[in-house]
């Protein structure tokens, strides 16, 4: 199979083909996911919760992400590799450039940042410096204390309109992918149709251009709880490789996420 690139992900959107993605944190799981045909792997700051046992993602450092990015890259031959910019690692432009360079040098093909319009100048600066960017809107876990917990975003009409406008602003600034987390399915559909770039959903319904899950949730081994938007594929298949294959098939065929894994 050919190596997955930003261009091939865009072609999938244009052809109406769903993009499949998972988080990964080490070479062994990255290799297994890669061999099953996953399109993209994200070294998420979710590692703070699923690997380090923290209550949220805020303690994760750029060194943590860089270490796990090197591990994932070592196990990956064809999947597209994204790396999260952790909490307060992009508070200023110069800080952002230095930390993004660290992640790209560790093996990322793109960095992901949480936030709306306030990031536009920084995103443009990263693009000029050769660093591709994935945006992240909706429930942005690094803002959990601002939101007052892990809550669905965009249910009110004004908030939905704000998210749509911010998505358009991020695209204009130069992002090449967008993650939408925990927003109503109808809003996710509207945003996906309004943007030319691929939109990857997690808890955002079936009408985004692709899906991503935290691998520990997909295997039903997360330490705390199973989010509503996830599904334990290991329980259904009894084998990790088959679980990944089933997840990929369900996303590609529009079976996952179903209404029970979505928000209205």
Closest C-alpha among 51, 28, 30, 50 to residue 42? 30
Closest C-alpha among 56, 223, 226 to residue 145? 56
Integer angstrom CA distances of residue 35 from 1, 23, 30, 55, 230: 9, 15, 9, 32, 22
Residues with Cβ < 8 Å from 173, sequence gap 6 or more?
Answer: 119, 120, 121, 123, 124, 127
Tokens 């050769």 sit on residue: 130
Residues with Cβ < 8 Å from 41, sequence gap 6 or more?
Answer: 21, 22, 23, 24, 30, 33, 34, 72, 76, 79, 80, 81, 82
Separation between Cα atoms, residue 38 and residue 8, nearest integer Å: 13
Please report, in range form, the residues annotated as the binding site: 45-46, 84, 112, 114
**Token pair recorded at residue 177:** 């992918």
Q: Is the peptide bond before 257 cis (omega within 30 degrees of 0)?
A: yes
Facing residues of 12 across strands?
Answer: none
Please report, in range form, the residues annotated as the binding site for 3-methyl-2-oxobutanoate: 45-46, 84, 112
Task: Report residue 21 CA to chain centroid gap.
Answer: 8
Quick check: 83 and 103 in contact, CB under 8 A? yes
Question: Which residues have a catalytic role annotated?
Answer: 181
**Token pair recorded at residue 146:** 């601002």
């Amino acid at each position: 199979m050919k190596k997955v690139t930003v261009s091939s992900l865009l072609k999938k959107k244009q052809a109406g083909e769903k993009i499949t993605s998972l988080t990964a944190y080490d070479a062994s799981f990255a290799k297994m996911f890669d061999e099953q045909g996953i399109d993209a792997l994200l070294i998420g700051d979710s590692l703070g919760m699923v690997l380090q046992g923290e209550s949220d993602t805020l303690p994760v450092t750029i060194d943590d992400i860089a270490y796990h990015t090197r591990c994932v890259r070592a196990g990956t031959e064809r999947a597209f590799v994204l790396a999260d910019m952790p909490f307060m690692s992009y508070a200023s432009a110069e800080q952002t450039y230095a930390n993004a360079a660290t992640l790209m040098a560790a093996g990322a093909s793109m960095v992901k940042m949480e936030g709306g319009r306030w990031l536009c100048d920084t995103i443009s600066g990263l693009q000029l410096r050769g660093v591709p960017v994935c945006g992240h809107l909706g429930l942005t876990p690094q803002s959990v204390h601002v939101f007052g917990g892990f809550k669905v975003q965009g249910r009110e009409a004004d908030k939905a309109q704000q998210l749509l406008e911010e998505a358009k602003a991020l695209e204009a600034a130069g992002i090449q992918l967008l993650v939408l987390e925990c927003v109503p399915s109808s809003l996710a559909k509207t945003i996906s149709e309004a943007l030319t770039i691929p939109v990857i959903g997690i808890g955002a319904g079936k009408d985004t251009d692709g899906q991503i899950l935290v691998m520990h949730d997909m295997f039903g081994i997360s330490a705390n709880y199973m989010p509503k938007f996830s599904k334990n594929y290991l329980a259904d298949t009894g084998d990790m490789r088959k679980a990944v294959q089933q997840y990929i098939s369900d996303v590609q065929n529009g079976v996952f996420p179903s209404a029970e894994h979505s928000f209205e």
